[in-house]
Amino acid sequence: MNSISFISTLLSSPPPPPHRAVLIGAPVTAERRIRGWRLSSRIPLPAIMQEEVGNSSESVVDFFFRNGLISVRDGAEIIWYHAANSKAKLKEALQSSAHMIEADVLLRGQGSPHEEPIMAHPPDTDSDITLREWLNEVLKTDMGIKLDFKSLAAVEPSMKLLQVVKTELRRPVWINADILPGPNGRSTTVEAQKFLGTVRSFFPAVTLSLGWTTSWHPEADNEGYSWEMVNKMEDLCKHLCQMVTFPVRAALVCQSWPQLLWLLQQSDRYSLTVWTGKDDQYSVEDLLYIRDNFDKTRIYYDISEPQDTEFRRAIGARK
């Protein structure tokens, strides 16, 4: 049996039951008990898999720390720029202090001989900049890339474009999609297996950003991330060789911390990216709580104002 088959066989056992999760304190190296043995997620990948994954899947924290662009290995140090979906927005992003630039990809002319990935977020269906043009500009900088997909159609042509410029990337590349229904989620998910298969077939050297569809309502009793939700996500991710980050809604994180902590503890490849909805209500104390109870290198905070400034001020006050 070769090393890839051996690891796949060991990891085929189901994850430990939720009640065994450690709920407080900084976790030790993530391990899974299998037939009385412990299998650490730090086991080196076989050489062929390491070569496949490549540098563009390097941890965001590690990349920017190694290049002297952040002073400490802390996910809270990373600054994000959102929705750089036009030439003007991209120019603004490139002149900002952001480390990571996020943009949305749609397919123009789907089904025609002239189909091409462009930068746009629904309900928009067109843009003044294509993905090819967008990449040409970003690759002149040292900024990281996050591409968000709302449907499968644009994924394959986008991965092929990344493959063309792979020698120029030399930075973190995140590929994002909501692949499972989540708390209060009503929007359509991107089909998980087809999305993962397409990325892994055409350009596997990325970090996968895999989320749940969610919503939040100020007057409602909003559910959090359930054990069923995190178990389904772990089932999809446990055999992947890529780094995986789970985007989670800030307003729902604190009430779901036992479930999310358990998920993080299943592999050292996993991280969280905490994001905020436009009208969500949550406290900075919630963000500080999860920061105090897990590895700071594995939680990113992609949050809006004024909470972002308040959060960073609170962190600074503790130093």
pLDDT in tens, 39-70: 334 333 434 344 444 467 789 999 999 999 99
HSE-CB for 49 with a 13 A CA cutoff:
15
219 pLDDT tier (thresholds 50, 70, 90): confident
Band (pLDDT 50/70/90 cuts) for residue 124 is confident
pLDDT of residue 81 exceeding 90, the answer is yes
Complete DSSP assignment for 96-119: SS-SEEEEEEEEETTTSTT-EEEE
Burial class (CB in 10 A: 0-12, 13-18, 19+), 11: middle
Strand partners, 245: 209, 271
- What does the pLDDT read at residue 35? 31
**pLDDT, tens digit (0-9, with 9 covering 90-100), for 272-289:** 999 998 788 888 999 999
| pLDDT confidence band for 227 (50 / 70 / 90) | very high
Find, among 128, 80, 126, 72, the residue nearest to 100 by Cα.
80
| Beta strand 144-149 pairing with 116-119 | unpaired
Q: How large is the average pLDDT for residues 153-174? A: 96
How confident is the model at residue 171, as a pLDDT?
95
Question: Per-residue confidence at 184, pLDDT binned at 50, 70, 90?
Answer: confident
Give the residue among 16, 57, 9 at the shortest CA–CA distance from 265: 16
Q: Residue 178: enclosing H or E segment and its boundaries?
A: strand 173-181
In degrees, rounded to 5, the angle at the alpha carbon of residue 171 between the alpha carbons of residues 28 and 138 is 140
CA distance 259 to 224: 9
CA–CA separation, 314 vs 257, rounded Å?
20
Q: Sorting pLDDT into bands at 50, 70 and 90, what band is 308?
A: confident
Residue type, 77: E
CB 143 within 8 A of CB 99: yes
The DSSP-derived string for 62-98 is HHHHHTTSSSSS-GGG--EE----SHHHHHHHHTSS-
Here the tokens at position 210 are: 């895999």
Task: Summarize pLDDT for 242-257 with one digit per residue, the tens.
Answer: 999 999 999 999 999 9
Of the two residues 273 and 10, the one the predictor is more confident about is: 273
Q: Where are the domains positioned within the chain?
A: 3-78+172-318
Cβ atoms within 10 Å, residue 98: 19
How does residue 116 score in pLDDT terms, banded at 50, 70 and 90?
very high
pTM: 0.83
Residues of the chain above pLDDT 70, percent: 82
Which pLDDT score is estimated for 55? 63
* CA atoms of 83 and 104, how far apart (whole Å): 7
Mean pLDDT for the chain?
Answer: 84
pLDDT at 65: 97
Contact 226, 191 (CB under 8 A): no
- pLDDT of res. 304: 84
pLDDT tier, 134 (very low <50, low <70, confident <90, very high otherwise) = very high
Question: For residue 245, what pLDDT is reported?
Answer: 98
Closest CA to 78 of 231, 297, 280: 297
Confidence of residue 196 (pLDDT cuts 50, 70, 90): very high
pLDDT class for 169, splitting at 50, 70, 90? very high
Q: How confident is the model at residue 319 (pLDDT cuts 50, 70, 90)?
A: low
Using an 8 Å Cβ cutoff, are 256 and 228 in contact?
no
- Compute the distance between CA of residue 310 and CA of residue 316 in angstroms, rounded to an integer: 10
Phi, psi of 130 (to 5 degrees): -90, 165
